[in-house]
Amino acid sequence: MKPLLFGVLGCSLVLAVQALYSASDDVIELTPSNFNREVIQSDSLWLVEFYAPWCGHCRNLAPDWKKAATALKGIVKVGAVDADQHKSLGGQYGVRGFPTIKIFGANKNKPEEYQGGRSSQAIVDGAMNALRNLVKERLSGRSGGSDYKQSGGGGSSGGNKKDVVELTDDNFDKMVLDSDDVWLVEFFAPWCGHCKNLEPEWAAAATAVKEQTKGKVRLGAVDATVHQAVSGRYGIRGFPTIKIFRKGEEPEDYQGGRTRGDIIEKALDLFSDNAPPPELLEILSEDVLKKTCEDSQLCIIAVLPHILDTGAAGRNSYLDVMVKMAEKYKKKMWGWLWTEAGAQMELESSLGIGGFGYPAMAAINTRKMKFALLRGSFSETGIHEFLRELSVGRGSTATLGGGVMPKIHTVEPWDGKDGQLPVEEDYDLSDVELDDFRDEL
């Protein structure tokens, strides 16, 4: 795998990288458009790697993954998902790090985590063990599948967790309209073929969305042939019809695709719209910088003037600008940090900021050790233009000094007050005779 070349100008921190696998490999490329058909509806055992092209461990795994795929050809399916590109698919299966390997066996909706080694032999051994377990389950009469079923007369019922909420004429207002949560509601008819096709997608999406949004976005279903009052209220004429409900707003029609990936992606967008902006943190220690930047694709860092130069009001005006921009770009899930000029000199030096030009701002990609500097004004307009350029793949970047994160000092947090000059020690000269000084001279 060869990274795309880029120049000093016209490149982005969010660099495109070639995929780790190609059509000539025995590894099957999986995307939201084919995942359901290839994996979920398949009777085969699948090993699926969720990777990111920029991930070093993923690049190291790729040769062994290809070798294992060739060895298992015709026995076990081996696939790969670029979860950096297809975030909804990775999010659906709770992928938090790369590479993550899942085994899709008897119950395709509940894959198991692969815990084995990363050599081709270890992968093949793990696949064969999983295959033996699958055969044993089939011999014993056990099988997997979705828990969510649409019944002929009682609406939709979930499994043990009931992640698809059954909605009725009696509970709809209380559950949906009075809720602070966002709802995606499917109106269905039990005899509807399209509804039956949607059923496993809706159920799988409900579970994933519940986990990803901590229950802040919920999926429900109304049997419109039974609960005709609520269905009539919203003018339901065809099936399935999906509507989005947000508190205090008129419901809107869902216009997206009908795969679980499409549904999850829309639900996460809705969640982002209603989620609070990321927290703006002062860099008080190495842990603050490390956690914020490693958990985010980009880390936006401001170096603000010393408190003696701006006072509390001036500093707060800069912080207010940052908070507004964090809100504007919250869907990006970037980290937002600030420090006072002179507090983290090594960081300033590595960014080429040190000693002048405050306030300053940099966007850092810690995975690539690349950064870009704000060249325009430290204002909503200037910062928006800076971040917009990065978002669309433009803007100049440089390598972080030394190619490593600089040393971060532990400092006390700002107390929110104006700064004060150091108090000089007073000397009592009342008992000193001036003649004594003349004699010494």
- Active-site amino acid positions: 55, 58, 192, 195
Cβ 188 vs Cβ 224: under 8 Å: yes
8-state DSSP, 241: E
Residue 92: both structure tokens together? 């659906």
420, with CB counted inside 10 A (0-12, 13-18, 19+), is: exposed
Q: What is the widest separation between alpha-carbon atoms in the chain?
A: 114
Other CB atoms within 10 A of residue 17 CB: 18
Distance (Å, whole) CA 397 – CA 374: 11
Q: Where are the alpha helices (DSSP H) in 248-369?
A: 260-274, 286-294, 307-328, 345-351
DSSP 46-113: EEEEEE-TT-HHHHHHHHHHHHHHHHTTTTSEEEEEETTT-HHHHHHTT--SSSEEEEE-S-TTSPEE
Round to whole Å and give the CA distance between 4 and 17. 6
As given in the structure block, the two tokens for residue 395 are 């803007």
With beta carbons less than 8 A apart as the criterion, state whether 286 and 230 touch. Answer: no
Asked whether the beta carbons of 205 and 260 are under 8 A apart, the reply is yes
User: In the sheet that 252-253 helps form, which strands lie side by side, from edge to edge?
Assistant: 164-167, 217-223, 182-188, 241-245, 252-253
Rounded CA separation 16/3 (Å): 8
CA–CA separation, 35 and 29 (whole Å): 9
